[in-house]
A and B are shown apart, each in its own frame.
Chain A
Amino acid sequence: MSAGKVTDGRIDVFIDGEKVRCPPGTNLIDLVEGMGKEIPHYCYHPKLSVSGNCRMCLVELGTPAMDRETGKPVLDEDGAPKIMYFPNPVIACATRLTSGMRVRTQSAKVRECREAVLEFLLINHPLDCPICDQAGECLLQEFATDYGRGYSRFIEKKVVKPKRTVLGPRVMLDDERCILCSRCVRFCQEVVEDDVLGFVDRGTYTTLTCYPGKQLENNYSLNTVDICPVGALTSRDFRFRMRVWFLKETPSICTESSVGVNTLVGSREGKVYRITPRRNDGVNDTWMSDSGRALYKRIEDENRLIDFRVNRLPVRPEDALSEALRRLQGDKVAFVGSGQSSVEEHFLFNCLSRAAGSVLNCLVSRTREGDGFLISNDANPNVRGALCLGFIDTLPEANLTGLAEKINRGEVDAVVVHNEDLTTAGIGRSLLEKVEVIYLGSHGNGASETASVVIPGLTVFEKSGTFINQQFRLQKFLQAVPGPPGVLDDLVTISRLLNLLGKDEGRLATPAAVWAVLSRRLKCFEGISFDTLPETGALLDGSAFRSLPFCEGPSLHFEPETGTVEARA
Chain B
Amino acid sequence: MAVKILKRRPLSLLEKTYLPQILIGLKITLRNLFRPSVTLQYPEERPDIPEGYRGVPTLVKDANGREKCVACQLCEFVCPPRAIRITSRELETGGEDAHIEKAPDEFEIDMLRCIYCGYCQEVCPEEAIWLQDVFSISGYSREAMVFDKEKLYQLGGTLPDNHFKWDRKKAEEEAAKRH
Chain A residues packing against B (C-beta within 8 Å) = 126-127, 129-131, 135, 157-160, 163-164, 239-241, 243, 245-246
CB-based contact A135/B72 at 8 Å: yes
Interface flag for B66 (CB, 8 Å): no
Contact check, B175 vs A241: say whether CB atoms are below 8 A apart.
no
Q: Which of these binds chain A: B55-63, B86-94, B142-150?
A: B86-94
Residue of B nearest to A241 (CB): B88
- Residue pair A129, B88 in contact (C-beta under 8 Å): no
Stretch binding the partner chain, chosen from B8-16, B19-27, B165-173? B165-173
Question: Could you say which residues of chain B place their CB within 8 Å of the CB of A158?
Answer: 172
* Contact (Cβ within 8 A) A160 B72: no
CB distance from B106 to the nearest CB of A (A): 13
CB distance from A243 to the nearest CB of B (A): 5
Which chain B residues lie closer than 8 Å to A157 at the CB level? 172, 175
Q: Digit string of B77-107 for contact with A (CB within 8 Å is 1, else 0)?
A: 1000000000011100100000111100000
Please indicate the chain A residues that have their CB under 8 angstroms from the CB of B114 in the complex: none
Across chains A and B, which 3 residue pairs bring their CB atoms closest together, nearest first? A160-B176, A130-B72, A131-B102
Whether B115 sits at the interface, judged by CB under 8 Å, is no
B179 to chain A, nearest CB (A): 9
B residues near A135, Cβ cutoff 8 Å:
72
Please tell me if the beta carbons of B88 and A240 are within 8 angstroms of each other in the complex: yes
Tell me the complex Cα distance, A246–B87, Å: 13
Chain B minimum-CB-distance residue to A127: B165
Bound-state Cα–Cα, A130 to B163, Å: 15
Query: Are B77 and A131 in contact (CB-based, < 8 A)?
Result: no
Contact A239 B90, beta carbon cutoff 8 Å: yes
Question: Given A129-B72, A131-B71, A131-B101, 11 more contacts at CB 8 Å?
Answer: A127-B169, A130-B125, A131-B72, A159-B176, A160-B173, A163-B99, A163-B101, A164-B93, A164-B101, A240-B90, A241-B88
Contacts of A246 in B (CB 8 A): 73, 76-77
- Interface residue from A131, A160, A243, A245 paired with B100 (Cβ < 8 Å): A131
Number of A-B contacts (CB under 8 A): 46
Interchain CA distance A126-B125 in the complex, whole Å: 14
User: Is B70 in contact with chain A by the CB < 8 A criterion?
Assistant: yes
Cα A158 to Cα B71 in complex, Å, equals: 25
What is the 8 Å Cβ interface bit string for chain B, positions 118-135, against chain A (1 contact, 0 not)? Answer: 000000011000000000
Minimal Cβ-Cβ distance residue in A for B69: A130
Tell me if A240 and B169 are in contact (CB < 8 A).
Answer: no
CA distance A23 to B105 in the complex (A): 54
Shortest CB distance A355–B (Å): 48
The complex places the Cα of A241 from the Cα of B102 at a distance, in Å, of 10
Contact A131–B70 (Cβ < 8 Å) = yes
Q: List 19 A-B contacts (CB under 8 A).
A: A126-B169, A127-B169, A129-B72, A130-B72, A130-B74, A130-B125, A130-B126, A131-B71, A131-B102, A157-B172, A159-B176, A163-B101, A164-B101, A239-B90, A240-B88, A240-B101, A240-B102, A243-B77, A246-B76
- Residues on B with C-beta less than 8 A from A163 are 99, 101
Closest to A243 in B: B73
Minimum Cβ distance to chain B for residue A232 (Å): 14
Question: Chain A residues with Cβ under 8 A from B70's Cβ?
Answer: 130-131
Which residues of chain A have C-beta atoms less than 8 A from B100's C-beta?
131
Which residue of chain A has the shortest Cβ distance to B166 in the bound complex? A127
Bound-state CA distance A458–B70 (Å) is: 37
| Cα separation A346 to B126 with both chains bound (whole Å) | 54
Shortest CB-to-CB span from B100 to chain A, Å, is 7
Distance, CA A129 to CA B74, complexed state (A): 11
Question: Among the interface residues A129, A130, A241, A243, which one has the most CB atoms of the partner chain B within 10 A?
Answer: A130
State A404–B157 Cα separation when bound (angstroms). Answer: 72
Residues in B neighbouring A241, C-beta threshold 8 A: 88
Query: How many angstroms between the C-alpha atoms of A240 and B93 in the bound complex?
Result: 15
Q: Which residues of A contact B101 (CB under 8 A)?
A: 131, 163-164, 240
Give the CA-CA distance A111 to B78 in the complex, in Å. 31
- Pairwise interchain contact B77-A245, C-beta atoms closer than 8 A: yes
Bound: A127/B99 CA distance, A: 12
| Residue in B77, B125, B172 whose CB lies within 8 Å of A129 | B125
